[in-house]
Amino acid sequence: MIFLFLTGICTGCGHKTETGEQEIVLAAARDLVQGEKDPYYATIILKTWEPLVGISDDGHEMPVLAESWESNADKTEWIFHLKEGVRFHDGELFNAAATLENFRRYRNMGYRPSTFYGFLADRIYPGLLRAEADDENTLHLYFEKPVPMLIYRMAGWGSAMFSPRCFDSATGDWTGMAKGTGPFMIKERVPDAYAVIERFDGYHGEKAKAKRIRIRTITSSDARYSAMKSGEIQGVLDLGGLAPIMAEELERDGRFTVNATHSTISHYLTLNGGRFPFSDVRMRKAVNLAVDREKIVKYYFRGFGTPTMSFLNSTNPFGRVEKPVFDPVKAKELAKEVLGDKRQTVKFLLPQYGMARYPYKTISEFIQAELKPLGLDAEIVMVDGMTSRKMMAKGDYDLSIGTRGLGNLDPTSLLFEYFNSKGATNKASCISYNNPKVDACFEALKTVYDLDERRTVYTEILDELLADPAVVPLLEDQNIAVCSHELGGYKAAVYGITLDKVYWRKGAGKE
């Protein structure tokens, strides 16, 4: 079976560029170039497009295509000074006019789902009245109400820029392959199989070091591991590229380099607060105290993670790590107050999309064992992603394991959707969380414009979630980058890897 698999993935390996440099072949667990139906066409990891405002490798906002910005006192007008001399992959000039076309696209395409992060202009730019060009390189945004967190909302996925020639701004649809301004451009794609990116020699900054990179879609973690061992691929990228134990084994092999850094991904348990027993806050507290997060990180993530009780990942400027409290005695006392001497069967959903990237099966079995002393008999139900969402929407579950990333740096919408009584995810997943103190905090944020004052409100929300938990955070993940010693410059970033810095080491990848 392994031989057949490797024969299959070898198609296209070993291609040489016109300069004689062999293409680098990497693998991901999902298709990173989703194409015509995706609002971004490709993930930001591949560096084929750039935003106005980016996210640095340490998780902070940074200028990219916008060199600087300022606002008026009440945050209803924002001015962006655009980088000059930048061109898209198709030769079109990036300027205020091109930016305005992108904003027309934002407003006209409505909500677009994505395997990365869905896009809706009203979420990023709430109450946007109009976008204007003050001059050739100055964008001016006017809002109906103050938007103090605009820069944090735009960072990364919220301000992607593309050549106006590759989309219809009236519908938001792509008219061909997406053309951005990044150090790489997309040259070829076969859906769910592979995509080829090449260095954009007209890039406005430091040029990418690799001439050509092929990104294969290999959905099985075991298959990605086998492909690394055989030399058919030189590295893995994207979140959950290899299970931590596999990364350890490859490092011991001696032919591979492993490095890791803090990730935007958090792992957590969602609880159905709409039905017994998790409708009782005492049982939610019991689970929060009964799970040994230190063991999960040590044994199942092999140390590649940070245990936490805080829902908001600390890579966010307003997030933090909350040291876990493991107190099985107190947990058992709280559970007994709810159940008495009876036992309760609970349905534990295990979505397959999580198992493809993370050691969720063994973790769920570990948690299953930790729930037994509480009087909870967890029945693990493995389902595909679509079925999982449908079951959660119907309330046909008690707890589920999953991940959550950060689409931008503004925590408002993320916290609101989970923990406001009217939040979309709160309702859609039957979390059924209703905390007047938390709702009051969200109401206060509507009129708090100072960032330090907003930080205080976010802290109040996070503190209240410790006292009255809605979900059970487990850990903050680390992004693990694994590559062959043949490659240099291959480092893990908060999201993805330093792809533009990757190169063949001397003597490797040459004819």
Given a cut of 50, whether residue 18 has pLDDT beyond it is no
Percentage of residues of the chain with pLDDT beyond 90: 83
CATH architecture of 49-161: Alpha-Beta Complex (3.90)
DSSP string across 409-475: S-HHHHHHHHHSTT-HHHHHTT-----HHHHHHHHHHTT---HHHHHHHHHHHHHHHHHS-SEEEEE
Residues of the chain with CATH 3.90.76.10: 49-161
Confidence of residue 53 (pLDDT cuts 50, 70, 90): very high
The whole-number pLDDT of residue 2 equals 38
Q: Where are the alpha helices (DSSP H) in 169-255?
A: 221-230, 244-253
Q: How does residue 12 score in pLDDT terms, banded at 50, 70 and 90?
A: very low
* Residue 120, amino acid: L
Question: Are 510 and 284 contacting, i.e. CB atoms less than 8 angstroms apart?
Answer: no
The predicted pLDDT at position 510 comes to: 58
- The model's pLDDT over 398-454, given as tens digits with 9 standing for 90+, comes to 999 999 888 889 999 899 999 999 999 999 999 999 999 999 999 999 999 899 999
Predicted pLDDT at 509: 64
Which residue is associated with the tokens 């993370």? 358
CATH 3.10.105.10 fits 263-477, yes or no: yes
By mean pLDDT, which of 7-11, 25-29, 46-50, 351-355 is the weakest? 7-11
- Write out 446-465 in H/E/C secondary structure: CCCCCHHHHHHHHHHHHHHH
Confidence grade of residue 372 (pLDDT, cut at 50, 70, 90) = very high
- Residue 73's SS3 state is coil
Q: Does residue 382 register a pLDDT over 50?
A: yes
Q: How confident is the model at residue 16 (pLDDT cuts 50, 70, 90)?
A: low
Long-range contacts of 437-445 (CB under 8 A, 24+ apart): 437/464, 438/464, 438/465, 442/412, 442/415, 442/416, 445/412
Rounded to whole angstroms, the Cα distance separating 106 from 242 reads: 35
Give per-residue pLDDT as tens, 123-134.
999 999 999 999
Intervals of CATH 3.10.105.10 along the chain: 263-477
Average pLDDT, the chain: 93
Q: How many CB atoms lie under 10 A from the CB of residue 117?
A: 17
CA distances (Å), origin 219, targets 31, 216, 236: 9, 9, 12
* pLDDT over 90 (residue 11): no
Structure tokens at 233: 């691929």
